[in-house]
Amino acid sequence: MPQNISIVENILNANDRLAEENFARIEAAGVFSINIIASPGAGKTSLIEKTLPLLKGKLRVAAVDGDIATSIDTDRAAAAGAAAAVQINTGGDCHLDAVMLRGALDQLDLTQFDLLIVENVGNLVCPANFKLGTHKTVLVASVPEGDDKPYKYPGTYRGVDALVVNKIDLLPYVDFRMEYFTQGVQVLNPNVTTFPLSCRTGEGLEAWVEWLIEHSKK
């Protein structure tokens, strides 16, 4: 079906061009931006919720939340202290794309912020194929998902700039071999910055917050 394939390629190319436009716009406003991807329930929203209070008085943050339905995440981000929170309902789509982010950027005065946090749809596969135009892509893994995830989702693990390993407080209660997990990550993405942490207990959050501050102040 060469016709279908060429249409898919056109869509991805068009998305990449729009992602470049988004990037130029974010960059021109002097904002540092991240695209957070993860499986459903790994803790994207919890991470944002726990991070925002720690950035209070240090960075002005805008949050963009992608979801198939509901505005639960945006409500949580706003309650946690985001200076602005924009909801994207994808209407069933399994990922954000550059067009959707452009629509969200249209609703923000970017010059008012230091950091833009984009929370993608909960999905470990599809979001990896659609660039949005952010500076960094952050993958949130979580301990109860299991230590084999880098081996099973290599494309996603390969393409990210930072890796949060959430829910380390559950390590005593699940069969998760950190060494096996780390080995898989190392093979795919040797230079990825990794933050083991627990959104529940707060352990390890400082290093993650420092990383955000450091990049936002450049």
Minimum separation from the CB atom of position 164 to a copy of itself (A): 15
Which range binds a copy of itself by CB under 8 A, 22-30, 79-87, 164-172, 210-218? 164-172
Among positions 41, 53, 103, 202, the unique one binding a copy of itself when judged by CB under 8 A: 41
Contact pattern from residue 116 through residue 135 relative to a copy of itself, giving x for each residue in contact according to CB under 8 A and a dash for the rest: -----xxxxxx---------
Site for a copy of itself in 11-40 (CB under 8 A): 11, 39-40
Whether 95 and 11 have beta carbons less than 8 Å apart is answered as no
Task: Give yes or no for residue 5 binding a copy of itself (CB under 8 A).
Answer: no
SS3 label, residue 77: helix
Looking up tokens 């290093």 gives: 207
- In whole angstroms, what is the distance from residue 83 CA to residue 109 CA? 11
Task: Give yes or no for residue 94 binding a copy of itself (CB under 8 A).
Answer: yes
Task: Give yes or no for residue 7 binding a copy of itself (CB under 8 A).
Answer: yes
Among positions 32, 113, 153, 181, the unique one binding a copy of itself when judged by CB under 8 A: 153
Alpha helices (H) along 58-177: 72-80, 98-105, 149-152, 154-158
CA–CA distances in Å: residue 168 to residues 137, 177, 207: 21, 12, 15
Return the sign of the alpha-carbon dihedral for residues 22, 25, 29, 30.
positive
Radius of gyration (Cα) for the chain, nearest Å? 17
Binding site for a copy of itself (CB under 8 A): 3-4, 7, 11, 39-41, 67-70, 72, 92, 94, 121-126, 142, 144-146, 148-149, 151-155, 167, 169-170, 173-175, 200
